[in-house]
Amino acid sequence: MTDFAGKNILVLGGSRGIGKAIVQRFAAGGGRVAFTYAGSAEAAAALAAETGAEAIRADSADRDALVATVAGRGALDVLVVNAGVAMIGDPLTLDPDAVDRMIDINVRGPYHAAVEAARHMTGPGRIIVIGSVNGDRMPFAGGAAYALTKSAVQGMVRGLARDFGDRGITVNAIQPGPTDSDMNPADGPMAAAMHGFMAIKRHAHASEVAELTAFVAGPHGAMITGSFQTIDGGFGA
Ligand code: NDP
């Protein structure tokens, strides 16, 4: 595959799970790929060795570090903001500091990274945030704080698409449903309940989400903007 040959690509949160699959997909397409990580140094080093991508430690909750990392990549062709965490539980007992950190990573991070990427883009760039079908639908208790972060991504995508559209920059969210990863293992305790909400009763593979991401990021995605591309096995249907 050469569909991303020579493209300057940054994936925020690429060491594991969906982000890792996205890094692998862009690298296989010939892209010049860098990715960030926060805690998983070993996994990041292994992925860098496997793909030739550059691993950068940068905590998405640290705005200054995040903005400096994005600016340091210069004129990006593609920014993917995948870094995200999920705090699920009774809102009366969830640690409020942990909830605020989730909001920092899932909402503030994508916004500031997207704006900084657009500041430096010189061509028809692509900005993609990995949101969630939970931005549309939260069918179980305990997900309010997580859902609010993914709904916030939708508002950001709508607005920034209009801010940057006249420069040919597209801004979109990919919205996975249950996807096999450390965050949401296909054999985890919640799996059967999640499959109950789905038309296709299995977790997605991270590579399936990566393939959709690559389509939106590629040359055929030029007219896709301000949109939410849902890949959820019918979870939200
Ligand atoms: P994982 O927990 O498996 O992986 C998360 C990735 O994000 C890791 O590479 C991690 O890096 C990185 N990351 C987390 N926090 C930070 C941070 N503060 N700074 C930089 N990187 C960070 O999650 P998934 O792959 O499952 O999820 C990826 C995205 O997809 C998230 O935004 C999630 O909300 C979304 N999503 C996932 C679904 C699922 O079912 N799996 C469903 C819908 C949406 P490190 O380990 O180095 O910190």
Q: How far is the CA of 106 from the centre of ligand 1 (A)?
A: 9
Number of domains the chain contains: 1
Is 3 contained in some domain?
A: no
- Of ligand 1's listed atoms, the one at least distance from the Cα of 44 is 47
Q: How far is the CA of 196 from the centre of ligand 1 (A)?
A: 23
Coil, helix or strand at residue 141: coil
What are the pLDDT digits (tens) for 47-98?
999 999 999 999 999 999 999 999 999 999 999 999 999 999 999 999 999 9
Is 65 contained in some domain?
A: yes
Is 17 contained in some domain?
A: yes
First-to-last C-alpha distance (Å) of the chain: 33
Give the residue, out of 23, 35, 130, with the most ligand 1 atoms within 8 A of its beta carbon, to mutate for a pocket test.
130
| Rounded CA separation 39/28 (Å) | 25
Q: How far is the CA of 166 from the centre of ligand 1 (A)?
A: 31
Is 208 contained in some domain?
A: yes
Is 200 contained in some domain?
A: yes
For residue 163, the tally of other CB atoms under 10 A from its CB is 13
pLDDT given at position 73: 98
Q: Residue 234's Cα: distance from chain center in Å?
A: 20
222: which residues sit within 8 A by CB, 6+ positions away?
A: 124, 168, 170
- Of ligand 1's listed atoms, the one at least distance from the Cα of 14 is 9
CATH number at residue 80: 3.40.50.720
pLDDT given at position 2: 79
| Residues 135 and 153 sit within 8 Å (Cβ to Cβ) | yes
Query: Which stretches in the chain have pLDDT values below 50?
Result: none
Give the residue, out of 23, 37, 62, with the most ligand 1 atoms within 8 A of its beta carbon, to mutate for a pocket test.
37
Catalytic (active-site) positions: 146
Expressed as residue numbers, the domain containing 70 is 8-231
| Rounded CA separation 33/152 (Å) | 27
Q: How far is the CA of 59 from the centre of ligand 1 (A)?
A: 12
| Rounded CA separation 7/126 (Å) | 11
Is 236 contained in some domain?
A: no
pLDDT given at position 1: 76
For residue 97, the tally of other CB atoms under 10 A from its CB is 8
Is 152 contained in some domain?
A: yes
Q: Judge if the beta carbon of residue 143 lies within 6 A of ligand 1.
A: no
Q: Judge if the beta carbon of residue 232 lies within 6 A of ligand 1.
A: no
For residue 13, the tally of other CB atoms under 10 A from its CB is 27
Is 44 contained in some domain?
A: yes
pLDDT given at position 234: 98
